[in-house]
Structure 1
Amino acid sequence: MRQPLFDMAAMAATTLLRIIDGEHVENLRLELATRLVARGSTAPPLLVTGSTAPPA
């Protein structure tokens, strides 16, 4: 998952500053758009022929 880290940090800072200023923050839960990114690291391990080790 690719998360919008800059947007997350900006919203956290803005919310914190509002709380410090004494404002009442209605909702502390925010939902930001994420994106699924297919990467090679998410594939199952390759089986090596002739290996005696069980698959992980």
Structure 2
Amino acid sequence: MIEQRYKVAEVAQMLRESKEHIYRGLHRGWFVGAYKIGGGRTSDWRIPESAIEAYLERCQR
């Protein structure tokens, strides 16, 4: 089964956070398994569903 991957804006909406908060988390390693599509500074991120679930688990502790 292929795991769903989400864009930053989608994750921000799901978590009711700002896109800036999600970008900060990406750069700090909060979403393990997230990766960039393409190269360079303006490339898009993809965040696997499992990374979002793991993040939420850590936040609930």
User: For the superposition of Structure 1 and Structure 2, which TM-score range results when normalised by the shorter chain?
Assistant: under 0.3
Decide which structure has greater strand share: 2
TM-score by length of 2: 0.22
Which one has more relative contact order, counting CA pairs under 8 Å at least 6 apart? Answer: 1
Decide which structure has greater helix share: 2
